[in-house]
Chains A and B, each alone.
Chain A
Amino acid sequence: MGELNKKSAKILVFSTEKISDPAIDMAGLMKLHYPPTVYTISIPCSSGIKSSWILHAFEKGFDGVFIAADGSDCVYGETCTEKTGALVGKTHELMKSNNIDPARLRMAAICSVCSDPFVKQVRSFNEYLLKTLHP
């Protein structure tokens, strides 16, 4: 790891091909910087994320997992928000029972032009994780 990276937490982002990917790409296009240890995995829809993936990420050493959710813009229908909420709730419970701080999993709706909100979210998440895990 480079010198500069010492100060950033490892964050795994689940982002969606149609909605949040374009926002994250545009953040790069606009050179809105965020920690380089934020990695994105693209999936079709945020309500298709399994708790086991998130737990696996923590087990392997990720400090935080961020779900860049489709929100009401989901191309697969309006139930996405509620379903993503439910899977986050369920994962929080599983995290608690595995002694993992549930705040290490965050979710926010990131629309296709929400580059600024995305960057703000991951920056503040990074700060939270550094404070709590690497003080």
Chain B
Amino acid sequence: MKKKKIGVYICHCGGNISDYVDVEKVRQAVEGEDIVFLAKTTMFACSDANQREMVNDIEANGLTSVVVASCSPKLHLLTFRNVSQRANLNKYTYVHANIREQASWAHSDNKIGATEKAIHLVKAAIAKANYAEALESNKVKAQKSVAIIGAGVAGMKAAISLSNKDCEVILIEKEPFVGGRVAQWNSLSTTTETGKEIVKRLYDDLITRDNITICTNSEVISNKGSVGNFTLKIKTTPRYIRQSFHPEDLTRAIEVCPVSVPDEFNFRLTQRKAIYKNYPGEYPQTPVIDIKNCTRCGACEKVCPAVDFNEKEEITEITVGSVLMATGFDPYTPGYGEFGYATSENVITLPQFKRLIDEQSGTLVYKGKVIKNIAYIYCVGSRQTKGDNTYCSRNCCTSTIHAAVTAKSKFPDINNFHFNRGLRTYGKQEILYADSLRSGDIYLQSYEDGLPTVTIEGNKTIVKINDILTNGKEIEVEADLVVLVTGMVPRADNKVGTLFKLPKGRDKFYNEIHMKLRPVETVIDGVTIAGACQGPKNIAESVNSALSAATKSYSIISKGELESEPLVAIIDQDKCTWCGACEKACPFDAILKVEDKGKIVAEINNSVCKGCGMCAPVCEPDAINVTACSSTEIMSMIDTLV
């Protein structure tokens, strides 16, 4: 083996590393190593200036490989591989050491320990670099198509953006209609367009595009394969209504349906039939029969020939290069008795209130009672001190104030009382707050340890608070309606997330690789996330993330070919005695039984081997190693770590 000449760069990461790890001491500890040609510290290894310096160092000194000790490889492994490549070094000779997440931050309580550990980690990386070989990436064909899961604003906008490129899009929506939550909101904050108008605009655009297939009433039920080639099975439930129908017949069919179930579109404030459409302009325009609740009485069939109970569930298989997840959120459901929820007739949630004011005009009435005083209780299910939802749901302050202002302009007799914990109407949304103050809304505030209380006295609902804005004075409001400002939580049904093994953050929403630097990618290669499935977002924020997720998904597959890590198992055929154990252990059928020089041995089919290494430990004669993870490399790392 030719002697290696390695360059080592130890990053301060501003102070993220050097505040806890003595980076100069690390440098000194490794500079004397036989194969280390140069060792430097740098303020930001990822900065342009340092990257240029690395390229110069490699070229000027003929370095054979580079080690950077910095943050997690999830963030900058690719950056530094590319630096190596720019300096005409094979990128797989690069080795990364993580001394931030795994040293300075993990041991910020122990600077000596953190420094010692960093030294060991860098030495292990150098040991690995000593064996790192020039490798060629595997090329895999990538399907130039993207499956988007969820047709809310995020999914629809991502579909339009992708369809502008040479890319097939399959938009999969589990509900019978598109639009997601936005279709449920009439008037919206910071725009004069209604939610329904936005959904219509997006849908009208979607259907003009040949390269988009929209599957409603459809769910992904299985996922196989990986980036470039995800094979998905999609189950589509029929609408039981043929596409060509006479609108009057359908209106009659809905009229005669005897079923009455709580209407989820209106957050169970009203009832709907088993054959339904949520609102007249809804897309697609064909209504649907909710077969779970249909009694098959046949009344609709009699008046509407387009009803067809013979339609069958369909399973389709598609293969796509990338998957964009845009499954949105659920509104938080308060617990039984939480601020009087479900125990008082006069307590509803913000989404219900939005539907209520949308549906009414003239006088605001709830359960037969004219509403005058409305108490909004903020941060229900968000910023919890007891409970899991410690995060802020971002959008609720604005949505509440917007709903209150809308209600006041529609029903001038109402009085709005906002029981809040500090308002977060950031950016332009602050204008709404000013509007609300001008229209006479009253704001009462508390900290988390002095939350307002809701008590029921006869048929009165009293909301009390020790208002910190008036020096803790106890103030009470007799409310005709209490609106619980419920935040956003992840979708209760997360089967699809489990199918793709998408990691979730502490807030239980899907997690990106890096909040700032890789905000729409996930650790599952080829799967991006957009919209409120990633965490609370308003429409503008959802659309922003949808556009970047679309671009990211496209960039993965745009060449029609993917570079995959050249990690494969390698068989030492001299040692192999063909026992078949590796063949049994391999989940990808990558092991072939072949004859070599008159001997039966195992051979790896590199095009299907994924380099997982499952075959290696079961090999009795120890004839198998995985590239970049061989026994020699691992053992030499162990030697330096101890």
Contact = CB atoms under 8 A, between A and B. Distances in A.
A105 interface: no
Interface stretch (A72-80, A96-104, A127-135): A72-80
A31 B106 contact: yes
B102 A24 contact: yes
B503 A25 contact: no
- Size bin of chain A's contact surface: 35 or more
Contact of B102 (A40, A80, A87): A40
A125 to B, nearest CB: 16
Contacts of A45: 612-614
A22 B501 contact: no
A111 interface: yes
Contacts of A24: 101-102
Contact of B587 (A18, A76, A87): A76
Nearest to B505: A113
Contacts of B226: 75
Contacts of A126: none
Interface string A37-70: 1011111110111111100110011100000000
A104 B528 CA distance: 40
Interface in B617-638: 617-618, 622, 626, 629, 631, 634-635, 637-638
Majority DSSP secondary structure for residues of A touching B: mixed
B4 interface: no
Given A44-B612, A47-B613, A62-B642, A39 B523 contact: no
A79 B100 CA distance: 33
Contacts, number: 158
B144 interface: no
A37 B587 contact: no
Nearest to B99: A28
A60 B106 contact: no
A73 B501 contact: yes
A60 B524 CA distance: 35
Contacts of A92: none
Interface string B484-504: 000000000000000001011
B72 A37 contact: no
Interface in A12-31: 12, 18, 21-22, 24-29, 31
Nearest to A83: B614
A1 B116 contact: yes
Given A22-B523, A87-B617, A53 B101 contact: no
Contacts of B505: 113
Nearest to A36: B113
Contact of A39 (B73, B120, B616, B617): B120
Nearest to A8: B113
Contacts of A35: 113
Nearest to B108: A31
A12 to B, nearest CB: 7
Most buried by A among B104, B114, B617: B617
Contacts of B614: 45, 47-48, 76, 79-80, 83
What 7 pairs across the A-B complex have the smallest Cβ distances? A48-B613, A2-B112, A36-B113, A28-B101, A28-B106, A112-B503, A25-B101
16 contacts: A2-B112, A5-B110, A8-B113, A26-B101, A27-B106, A28-B104, A36-B107, A39-B121, A40-B102, A44-B612, A50-B617, A52-B631, A61-B642, A75-B524, A83-B614, A113-B504
